[in-house]
Amino acid sequence: MRHRKKTIKLGRTSEHRDALLSGLVCNLVNARRITTTLPKAKAARSLAERMVTLAKRNTLHSRRRAASILRREEAVEKLFGDIAPAMQDRAGGYTRIMKLGKRASDSAEMAILEWVNYVPPPPKKKADKDAKGGKKTAGEKEAAAAK
């Protein structure tokens, strides 16, 4: 029976697994959205949610615990400064996993792990060709000649 055996092992030693999950959560804190395999996303989600719960307490002890797990001071500062205040009114469920399908090379299930309040930036428009020396349309030429 697997009662109370929650650790997702990911085929790694405990030190390697801790380093992997720490890196994934730090990248999630910095980038707000990461793409990884589904088992790694599920394992990183639990650590990310625990880190947000620590950050919501905002004590010196919780900051030191987060720093000992994440091992990157800039990620800890961003977690305590930006992410935790945004999640202050939530009682849990800070992240979401969206499945992407299988990766072409090895058919591994891929997923996006992101914060629930994440709003992706709008896509950049391709109309900025004039600034880069691209061709102008007839209307743009007339407007430039009128100036």
Domains, the chain, ordered by start: 14-146 (3.90.1030.10)
Q: Which two tokens stand for residue 121?
A: 């930036």
Q: Give the DSSP H or E segment for 99.
A: strand 95-102
Q: What is the pLDDT of residue 119?
A: 82
Closest C-alpha among 117, 120, 111 to residue 35: 111
Q: Which residues pair with 114 in a beta bridge?
A: 33, 96
* % of the chain exceeding 90 in pLDDT: 78
Cα distance between residue 128 and residue 35, in whole Å? 29
Q: Identify the residue with better confidence: 73 or 126.
A: 73
Contact of 113 with 34, CB cutoff 8 Å: yes
Task: Say what the pTM is.
Answer: 0.80
Q: Is the pLDDT of residue 129 over 60?
A: no
